Structure 1
Amino acid sequence: MIGNPDFQTGIGQDQAPELQELETPEGELHLRFYVTSGDEFALPATGIRRIIEQAPDRITPVPNVSPLLLGTLNEQGRVIWVADLGQFLGHPKPMSTDRAEIPVIAVEEQGTMLGLAVDHIVGTDWLDIDSVQVSRDYSDAMAPFLKGEWVLDAATNRSLRLLDHLAILRSARWAA
């Protein structure tokens, strides 16, 4: 029975072979998330080192640093600075730490790792990078860190903004 070719393929004489086609995703994989202001952003998955859900009391405040930084956290023996991404992008309302967990997106370049605290993570999505549009409908504080946006709903002016994680990591705002 095991030597029978029909047994190995699962195709009997009365069964027709079914080919299952896998869809090839279009575009590049991105992580979608919201900041406290309610604006939705995306980061290329290739720039993300890890996603961490931490209780606010696990983020240790550090005195005399930029007010954009919430503090540090220890993740698998590595110290990661955690920043309020919404405030970094110019939104005046700070992130609420009165909740069970804070989603932190860790981005890295050449050994420098930074955790970007966000309001909530939507998930991943394959997005066509060629359809990113340049828009002027954002603040001057946000402009240096955007690559563009995808218009999700023109009627409601809803868009998904694409962030440049390298520009965020290299920003001089961290020294302020």
Structure 2
Amino acid sequence: MNTAALTKPKTNEEPYLKFQLNSQIAALFAMRHVQEVLILPARRLTPMPNMPPCMLGLANRRSRVVWVIDLAQLLGLATVNTHLQPYNLQYKLMMMQVGTAPFALAVQHVKGITWVQPDDLQSPIGRVPASFVPYLRGCVLQRQQQHQEVVLVLDAEAIVQSPIFHQTDSSL
């Protein structure tokens, strides 16, 4: 059993959901934006025409229709689940809400909850590709066996405000 999730946090630590964008990059979202995590078979996803490639389509969850976004592809990384055949394709989704905007983010793997002290947040400049920076609150260093792992702290509000979701160009 993973006892890290059961330990009591220090008084000023905040909860974050840790996940993998790809096999090399771990990231966090503040738990205040995460509603639930689930696995969605691809057949339950409705693709929409004329949308950016990172927009996987629409899904119905608890009588709400939400956009499903490939987070890795939005950040300029390889798309999730490219190695699977369509008949067994499943998406690992983080159901999110920012303000009144519900949406789902498809990621490679969800690891669980971790606690971060606000003072541990560092500047990501020089540690990550420049294309990531508009979507980051910062990064933290976490001990991973024998080395320090740089973990990105993503900004859910910045993702919702991404220009890619607000394009009106009909040539998409």
Gaps in structure 1 of 5+ consecutive residues: 1-21
Within 2, Cα distance between the matches of 1:47 and 1:104? Answer: 13
Task: Report the counterpart of residue 53 of structure 1 in structure 2.
Answer: 39
Gaps in structure 2 of 5+ consecutive residues: 1-5, 168-172
Change (3 A) 1:49 1:63: same
Change (3 A) 1:23 1:77: closer
- Is the CA contact 1:37–1:86 (under 8 Å) kept in the aligned structure 2? no
Size of the aligned set, in residue pairs, is: 154
Within 2, Cα distance between the matches of 1:37 and 1:59? Answer: 24
What is the alpha-carbon root mean square deviation over aligned residues? 2.2
Q: Does 1:68 align with 2:24?
A: no
- Please say which structure displays the higher CA radius of gyration: 1
Q: Name the stretch that deviates more: 50-59 or 93-102.
A: 93-102
Within 2, Cα distance between the matches of 1:23 and 1:38? Answer: 27
TM-score under structure 2 length normalisation: 0.81
Instruction: Encode CA deviations 1:146-173: one digit per residue, 9 max, x unaligned.
Output: 1111122598563111000011011111
Greater share of strand: 2
- 1:1-176 matches, within 5 Å, as 24-26=8-10, 27-36=13-22, 38-91=24-77, 93-96=78-81, 98=84, 99=88, 101-136=90-125, 137-152=127-142, 158-176=149-167
Residue 69 of structure 1 deviates from its aligned partner by 0.5
- Is the CA contact 2:45–2:59 (under 8 Å) kept in the aligned structure 1? yes
